[in-house]
Amino acid sequence: MARGILDVIVSDSMDDNEIILVTECYNGYAEELQTIAEGAVVTLKKGDSEREVKVLREKGDECAFHYMEVGNETASELGLVDGARYLLEYDAVDSTIKLTRVKVSRAQVPVRVDRTSAGKDRITIGYSLLSQLGMTTDNSKAAVLKDGKETAKLRFHIPENELDGSFRVPSFVAAMFGLQDGELCQLEYNQTTKVLQCTDKGLMLSCHVLKPRNRSRSKSAASATRKKPAKGLTVTTDRPPRLPLRQAGPRNGLPASQELKPAMKPAEGVVFVKQPLVRQKPAASGKRHRTAALRTPRANRRPAGLLLGVNVTPGR
């Protein structure tokens, strides 16, 4: 009987009567599934469920860990979890492959103590080691556990180099658990509990998955607070009514001399207009000229955006 440990990938594009086996990845455990030939028809078994499929073989020189790709219907029928790790046992006599869930993966690596300012709040774990332990890149946050209690919160950092197999911890975590730089650590990750631990030192990291923020939700929530009042309702406010911005000049029926009057107590027939600051491009001489609306005595000038009282003749 041939055995091998593989990760299961559930794919929408896969034919449910076929599976793809990739068993040549650089970081996978030693396996014996090379005896399953291309095009062989086998029966997948998990518990009391089974399904007959055709085996396709592909090379995976650049993949991190051996895997088996299946379709949605096959995964649903057998109860396979996307991204989970399984032990495959192939019986060539009756052409069956028995699948058993592997919840815990282990790896022995030297611990590096990160004393840099960038590493004070993060756990660095290389992608190669991440794959060997059966972790995913969705693990973005970790809580440090000591004696079952949470003592600190850290974030995961995964270097860009996919061959990186390092494991680094902040100096305060190393001191907390008596870890020395370069000391070997037996790492163990449980896919069910999402706990990564250095078993011989008592270090435990509870891994969490950060979901992306729903920006559309926050946007809609913000817009909900700015809803207009229902028709027929009266809204009381101490602010003057907001009108569309109007430029200075006779075309708008508001002479510049009136628009730039100093603010005064509103009287009957007075409308508030927001006066924008209008600038022209520098003249050829290099001097800047303002529009006629801004050529007023310095004492009467107001900052841009000030509300000015403007007399409006009724009927216009």
DSSP per-residue string spanning 240-262? PPP-----SBGGGTB-HHHHTPP
Q: Is 55 exposed, middle or buried (0-12, 13-18, 19+ CB in 10 A)?
A: buried
Residue 172 in 3-state DSSP?
helix
CA distance 13 to 10: 9
φ, ψ dihedrals at 279, nearest 5°: -120, 150
Determine the 3-state secondary structure of 99 from DSSP. Answer: strand
Cβ-based neighbours of 163, under 8 Å, separated by 6 or more: 126, 127, 128
CB atoms closer than 10 angstroms to residue 37 = 10
How far apart are alpha carbons 39 and 217 in whole angstroms? 48
CA pair distance 94, 113, nearest whole angstrom: 52
Model pTM? 0.62
Q: What is the pLDDT along the chain (316 residues), one digit of tens a residue?
A: 899 999 999 999 999 999 999 998 887 877 788 889 999 999 999 999 999 999 999 887 678 899 999 999 999 999 999 999 999 999 999 999 999 999 999 999 999 999 988 888 888 999 999 999 998 766 577 888 887 788 888 888 888 888 889 999 999 999 989 999 999 999 999 999 999 998 888 888 888 654 333 333 333 333 333 444 444 444 444 444 554 444 445 545 555 444 444 445 555 555 545 555 555 555 554 444 443 443 444 444 444 444 444 444 445 4
- E strands along the chain, which residues? 2-11, 18-22, 41-46, 49-57, 67-71, 85-91, 96-101, 104-114, 122-125, 139-146, 149-157, 167-170, 184-190, 195-198, 203-209, 270-274, 307-311
pLDDT per residue as tens digits for the range 213-248: 333 333 333 333 344 444 444 444 444 455 444 444
Both tokens of residue 273? 């207009």
Number of residues assigned to the chain = 316
Q: Which domains does the chain have, with CATH numbers?
A: 2-101 (2.40.40), 104-209 (2.40.40.20), 250-311 (no CATH)
Give the CA radius of gyration of the chain: 35
Q: Per residue in 58-69, is it b (16+ CB within 10 Å) or e — as a string?
A: eebeebbbbbbb
The answer to whether 129 and 64 have CB atoms below 8 angstroms apart is no
The rounded distance, in Å, linking the Cα atoms of 24 and 18 is 19
